[in-house]
Structures are given as C-alpha cells and as structure tokens.
Amino acid sequence: MTFVVNLLLGLLFGIGLVVSGMSNPPKVLNFLDLAGTWNPSLLFVMIGAVLVTFLGYRIVLRRDRPLLANAFRLPTAKDVDARLLSGAAIFGIGWGLGGFCPGPALTALGFAAPGALVFVPAMFAGLWAARMLTLARPPLKQA
Amino acid sequence: MTEFTPFSSLIGGALIGLSAVLLMALDGRIAGISGIATRLLPPYREGAGSLSALAFVAGLVCAPFVVMAVTGQPVLQTVSSNLPLMAIAGLLVGFGANLGGGCTSGHAVCGISRLSTRSIVATVTFMATAFVTVFVVRHMVGG
C-alpha cells in the first residue's frame, strides 16, 4: 500500500513540475537570470506550493500519526550551522549551472537527453559522497 | 526566452504542494526529493523505506509521459548538451543537497511551510548562489 501511495504521489509531484514548467531547465535558469531574460514563473510555483503545503500541514500534523505509518518523520535539527550554509551554497551553484534540481532532473530521465543522463548519475554520486562524509564526521547535534 | 506562465505555474505549484501534504498525511514523510533519492543509496538502514522511495522516483520519471498522454501535447524540455558542465552541476547539486539537508522541495517548499528557520536560511542561501552563478555564466563568461 505504501508503495502504491508513493508511486502515485511521485507521479502527482512530477505532474506538478511539468504543469508548472519547472521540468524545463531554461525556464528555471531564466528565473535565476535577474539581469537578463528574467521569467518570474518559478515564484508562482513557490507561492502555489507553499500555500497548499502550509495549510495542508497545519491540518495533517494535528493528527497523532500518519494513516499508513507509525509516526511523522519531521526534521529535528534547529541550528543554522556551517554544514547547512555550505551545503545550500554548493547546491545553488550546481542548480545555476545546469538549471536542474533533483525533482526536475528525475522527470527528465525518461526523455534520455544526454545532459540529463549525465546529470542524474552525477547527482547520485554527489548525494552518496556527502552522505559518506556525514557518516564519517557526524555533526554535534544529529538531525 | 521562455514563456511567463503565472496561472499554470501556480496550478503546478499547488499540485506539488498537494503531493507534499498527502505524503505527510499518509506516509508521514517530508516530500524532499534529494532526501527521497538518498534513500535509494547504500548503506541501507532498517525503516529507511528504500522501496517506497523507489516508487516515488518511478512516479516522477513517469510523470511527463502521463501529461503527454492526457493532454496530447509534447512536454518541452531543453537540457544543456555540455556534458562536462552537466556532470559538475549534478555532483554539486547532489553533494550540496545532502550536506545542506535538502533541496528546493525539502527546504523551499516543505521547510518554509513548516516555518523552519534552517529551511528559510538554506533557501535564501541557494537562491543567492544560484543567482550569482547564472549572472557569472550568462553575463560575465558569456554563455
């Protein structure tokens, strides 16, 4: 059941990315290009997504537990530390170079464009490398 | 140039939000794509939900094909064919997202909706470095 739910919600998330135009890297890059061909579409995606999530979470998180799992898995880390800042900074550079963040890159996989076929394995390698680093040197307060 | 699509971007964003809310309501998890992707990677821990993560990713990959089947329209996706650039971009996106504890979905959608300080700081940080990266690539290097 959890498997089917995740499949359908991945599908819904991906449809949202496609409908919003965010699965297309030039549209993302144009949002990031303030000094050039600025396209504010991404801002509207953010507004739609945050509005629904903010309201939905307020209703859902009032419950004791999710319907199909034992507990809500919410991040517990509170500190703004060097790891958060450097990670976010590095992520932004990669995002600005390729116009892909993880969701859109995965929706691109099926079209098998060479750039996407190179990006996605590199992204997994990056995720894995940072995870190994974190496991070797855990932060003082584990998230 | 890419089209400015406030309406469809708002709708697409709302669908992304709906997916995030339902994932929390049913499976109790944050809809952070980098986190979901990381669950596919070793070392595997009990309760990590690698199988449900695989289902979510499969849904993402299938999404554009479902949109094409329903609308009868092609899904526009232009990916850079500069493969070394895409490899570096992918590495940075993966490494940074894992180190920083999330990406555009986990921090900028789910985290901001939870009013998490860490997520707000991370979002401002990666937006800033992404703006600077695109400025350098497009207006200084002359991409």
Residue B74 lies in a domain: no
Residue B122 lies in a domain: yes
Residue B53 lies in a domain: no
Phi, psi of A58, rounded to the nearest 5 degrees: -65, -35
Q: How many CB atoms lie within 10 A of CB A86?
A: 15
Residue B29 lies in a domain: no
Which is higher by pLDDT, B10 or A136?
B10
| pLDDT on residue B115 | 96
Q: How many CB atoms lie within 10 A of CB B69?
A: 9
Q: What is the mean pLDDT of chain A?
A: 94
A23 to A55, A87, B71, B103: CA distances (angstroms): 25, 23, 16, 15
A127 to A23, A100, A107, B38: CA distances (angstroms): 20, 15, 18, 6
Q: How confident is the model at residue A40 (pLDDT cuts 50, 70, 90)?
A: very high
Q: How many CB atoms lie within 10 A of CB A135?
A: 9
Residue A139 pLDDT more than 90?
no
B window 30-89, beta carbon within 8 A of A:
30-31, 33-34, 37-38, 40-43, 49, 51-53, 55-67, 75-83, 85-89
Q: How confident is the model at residue A135 (pLDDT cuts 50, 70, 90)?
A: confident
Residue B143 pLDDT more than 90?
no
- Domain holding B111, by residue range, is 79-143
Residue A45 pLDDT more than 70?
yes
Chain A residue numbers with beta carbons less than 8 Å from the beta carbon of B73 are none
Residue B44 lies in a domain: no
The mean pLDDT of B128-135, rounded to a whole number, is 97
| pLDDT on residue A142 | 46
| pLDDT on residue A41 | 96
Residue B22 lies in a domain: no
Residue A89 pLDDT more than 50?
yes
Residue A8 pLDDT more than 80?
yes
Q: In 3D, which of A25, A28, A48, A55 has the Cα closest to residue A39?
A: A28
- B89:A100 CB<8 A: yes
| pLDDT on residue A136 | 86
Q: How confident is the model at residue B21 (pLDDT cuts 50, 70, 90)?
A: very high
| pLDDT on residue B48 | 79
Residue B125 lies in a domain: yes
Residue A143 pLDDT more than 60?
no
Instruction: Report the number of distinct structural domains present in chain B.
Output: 1
- B135:A34 CB<8 A: yes
The mean pLDDT of A75-85, rounded to a whole number, is 94
Which residue in chain B is spatially nearest to A107 when comparing CA positions?
Answer: B61
| pLDDT on residue B47 | 77
The mean pLDDT of B1-30, rounded to a whole number, is 96
CB of A140 within 8 Å of a chain B CB? The answer is no
